[in-house]
């Protein structure tokens, strides 16, 4: 509560002197993300787009960049995507907006514009309200068939007050029966992947009922400094996965300061999280823990961006340690000053745009290591780090809007774990970074093809191997376990222990009927093997179809 009170006091102090316009941010899974990645590579030397490793994106900023992109847009699909982006963020579009208007509104009130169910656009007040819907049904074949479905209904609201204060709120009610491996994950961790709190639907443990609520306010303290305070998710990185901070898990309370000036973008995030817990079967107050993160990125050239990352996760019996409010980099020094009880990380990332076709990116996360051990004993448990390398290839082989991506992620045993189980790199029984935790290597391949403005083909294949714990032996893959329970000091290789391998492939075909209203068909195959164990039944074939409206696609990518 102390961090919340302090941030609110700062907010009240700064707001009266705010004199600069403030935008809201793109929702998770918005279609604009992929299009903006294409624009960045096509431009190659636009330094303003080089800061795309920080998500979500600022709506005002992306409109400014999109409006300057006529020179690099060639295909009909990209022209269509540009128009859709501008319509969806019309509050920041300058000039003629007549093409955004609907040919026929509903009751002279609703859908006056093509993008928004209800919109108010006055000089000192903008508000857009849109329904959210995800209705998908299908079946799974794994040791017998079962019916699958997801039923999500909600509403999203965003707005601007006097061009100075932005606000956004999203409320979604869900009932979901996911594949069996999803159900096993829910049971094992007392949380729905990507969400958190749930309850069985009508006493059926195979069907989860959960509410996804997010919201925040934004404002400017100065021309180059943005503040955001709310309950939502963040993502740091250029890849499909992130080893720093991912949006895969549950939302959390946070305060964020983003400073963008000259060739630098500097972001501070202060978070209130929840440590590992098990439902007691009755209502009870869950404890808290906290995290603070810094990410500094710099445009070395117009096509090359590098970044420095650091974070610390700590528990103080439900109170924030105000030493970590220090906005200047080097948490490791502070962590040592207070007695070195916390879980500190450092990292490096990069991104390079090449030949207006390629983007190469990567991350290096350092939890802990000793030079002497790294040289003489590379399998020592203390060598805890993760590496990501990836590449994107747009308009592949000369085919417009055929985009490919390849990525590899490798994380050594015991990375993200801590001797104090409260301070591990998790929130609400889920990892804060990569969903596989530690002690794994993963390969990801993605194909996205837009042969026609309204048709989209998305295919994803991933393969990983991971070392699991055996009875009574901690092999470093479970980041919730206290690393002092390890069985040895050395001999830990990636995938070591009880080795599991998994292939997960998915194909999604979608057609956009109206703005942000998609009809979809999805097919997925997953095969999981555990070394030395007959796992013939751990094969899942999924087929589903449905409609999705103003909401992100639900994925089972683990």
State the CATH number of the domain containing residue 230: 2.40.160.130
- How far apart CA 120 and CA 137 sit, in angstroms, is 35
- Residue 232 belongs to a domain: yes
Q: Where is 230: in which H helix or E strand?
A: strand 225-232
Tell me whether residue 555 is in a domain.
no
Q: Is the pLDDT of residue 172 over 80?
A: yes
The helix/strand/coil state of 126 is strand
**Is 74 part of a structural domain of the chain?**
yes
Burial of 553 (0-12, 13-18, 19+ CB in 10 A): middle
Count CB-CB contacts under 10 A for residue 63: 21
pLDDT of residue 320: 75
Band of residue 318 on the pLDDT scale cut at 50, 70, 90 = low
The DSSP secondary structure of 454-507, one letter per residue, reads: TEEEEEEEEEEEEEEPBTTBB-S--TTS-GGGBS-SS---TT-SEEEEEEEEEE
The CA distance from 239 to 55, in Å, is: 11
Give the model confidence (pLDDT) of 501-524 as tens digits: 999 999 999 999 999 999 999 999
Q: What is the pLDDT of residue 442?
A: 98
pLDDT mean over 453-457 = 98
58-72, 211-225, 325-339, 485-499: the lowest-pLDDT one: 325-339
Would you state the pLDDT for residue 14? Answer: 43
Share of residues in the chain with pLDDT > 90 (%): 76
- Residue 32, in any domain of the structure: yes
Q: Which of 42-56, 211-225, 436-450, 525-539 has the lowest mean pLDDT?
A: 525-539
Among candidate residues 492, 212, 479, the one with its CA nearest the CA of residue 367: 479
Does residue 461 sit within a domain?
Answer: yes
What's the pLDDT tens digit per position in 393-432?
A: 999 999 999 999 999 999 999 999 999 889 999 999 999 9
In Å, how far from its chain's centre is CA 271?
15
pLDDT tens digits, residue range 228-264? Answer: 999 999 999 999 999 999 999 999 999 999 999 999 9
pLDDT tens column, 134-143: 999 999 987 6
Average pLDDT, the chain: 91
- 558 lies in some domain: no
What gap in Å lies between CA 385 and CA 468, rounded to an integer? Answer: 18
How does 511-542 read in b/e, with b if 16+ C-beta sit within 10 Å?
ebeebbebebebbbbbbbbeeeeeeeebebeb
Domains in the chain: how many in total?
A: 1
Convert the pLDDT of each residue in 53-85 to its tens digit. 999 999 999 999 999 898 899 999 999 999 999
**Which has the closest alpha carbon to 196: 209, 178, 205, 179?**
209
State the residue range of the domain holding 164.
2-549
Residue 279: per-residue pLDDT:
75
462 close to 442: Cβ distance less than 8 angstroms: yes
pLDDT band at residue 12 using 50, 70 and 90 as cut-offs: very low
Residue 20, token pair as written in the block: 């600069």
Tokens standing for residue 186: 């829910």
End-to-end CA distance of the chain: 34
Say whether pLDDT at 19 is over 50: no
pLDDT in tens, 349-379: 999 999 999 999 999 999 987 788 878 899 9
Orientation of helix 59-66 relative to helix 32-43, angle to 10°: 50
Residue 554 lies in a domain: no
The beta strand positions in 342-454, using DSSP E, are 343-354, 358-368, 384-393, 402-411, 426-427, 430-431, 440-452
With a cut of 70, say whether residue 168 has pLDDT above it: yes
Name the H helices within 353-511.
371-376
Domain assignment of residue 53, yes or no: yes
d(CA 318, CA 173): 29
Q: Is 319 helix (H, G, I), strand (E, B) or coil?
A: coil
């Amino acid at each position: 509560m102390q961090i919340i009170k302090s941030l609110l006091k700062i907010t009240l102090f700064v707001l009266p002197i705010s004199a600069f316009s403030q935008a809201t941010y793109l929702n998770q899974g918005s279609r604009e993300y992929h299009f903006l990645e294409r624009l960045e590579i096509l431009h190659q030397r636009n330094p303003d787009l080089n800061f795309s490793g920080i998500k979500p994106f600022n709506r005002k900023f992306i409109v400014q960049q999109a409006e300057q992109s006529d020179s690099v847009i060639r295909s009909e699909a990209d022209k269509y995507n540009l128009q859709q982006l501008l319509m969806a963020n019309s509050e920041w579009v300058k000039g003629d907006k007549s093409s955004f208007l609907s040919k026929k509104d509903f009751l002279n009130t609703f859908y006056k514009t093509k993008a928004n169910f209800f919109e108010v656009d006055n000089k000192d007040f903008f508000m857009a309200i849109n329904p959210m819907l995800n209705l998908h049904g299908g079946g799974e074949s794994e040791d017998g068939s079962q019916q699958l479905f997801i039923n999500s209904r909600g509403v999203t609201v965003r707005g601007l007050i006097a061009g100075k204060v932005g606000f956004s709120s999203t409320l979604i009610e869900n009932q979901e029966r996911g594949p069996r491996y999803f159900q096993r994950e829910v049971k094992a961790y007392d949380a729905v992947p990507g969400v958190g709190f749930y309850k069985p639907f009508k006493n059926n443990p195979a069907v989860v009922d959960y509410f996804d609520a997010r919201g925040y306010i934004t404002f400017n303290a100065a021309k180059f400094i943005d503040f955001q305070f709310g309950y939502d998710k963040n993502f740091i990185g250029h890849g499909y996965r992130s080893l720093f901070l991912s949006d895969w898990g549950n939302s959390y309370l946070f305060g964020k300061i983003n400073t963008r000036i000259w060739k630098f973008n500097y972001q501070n995030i202060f978070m209130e999280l929840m440590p590992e817990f098990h439902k007691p079967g009755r209502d009870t107050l869950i404890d808290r823990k906290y995290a603070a993160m810094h990410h500094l990125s710099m445009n070395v050239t117009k096509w090359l961006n590098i970044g420095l990352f650091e974070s610390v996760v700590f528990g103080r019996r439900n109170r924030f340690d105000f030493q970590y409010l220090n906005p200047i980099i080097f948490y490791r020094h502070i962590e040592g000053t207070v007695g070195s009880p916390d879980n500190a990380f450092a990292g490096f990332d990069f991104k390079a745009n090449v030949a207006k076709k390629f983007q190469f990116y990567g991350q290096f996360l350092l939890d802990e290591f000793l030079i002497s051990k790294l040289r003489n004993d590379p399998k020592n448990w203390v060598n805890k780090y993760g590496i990501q390398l990836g590449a994107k290839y747009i308009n592949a082989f000369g085919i417009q809007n055929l985009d490919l991506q390849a990525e590899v992620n490798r994380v050594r045993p015991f990375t993200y774990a801590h001797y104090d189980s409260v301070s591990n790199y998790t929130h609400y029984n889920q990892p804060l970074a990569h969903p596989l935790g530690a002690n794994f290597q993963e390969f990801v391949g993605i194909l996205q093809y837009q042969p026609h403005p309204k048709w989209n083909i998305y295919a994803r294949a991933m393969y990983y191997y991971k070392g699991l714990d055996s009875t009574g032996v901690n092999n470093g893959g479970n980041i919730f376990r206290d690393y002092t329970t390890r069985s040895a000091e050395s001999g830990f290789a990636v995938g070591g222990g009880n080795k599991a391998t998994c292939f997960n492939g998915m194909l999604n075909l979608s057609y956009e009927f109206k703005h942000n209203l998609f009809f979809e068909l999805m097919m997925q195959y997953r095969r999981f093997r555990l070394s030395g164990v007959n796992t013939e039944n751990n094969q899942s074939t999924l087929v589903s179809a449905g409609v999705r409206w103003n909401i992100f696609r639900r994925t089972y990518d683990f």
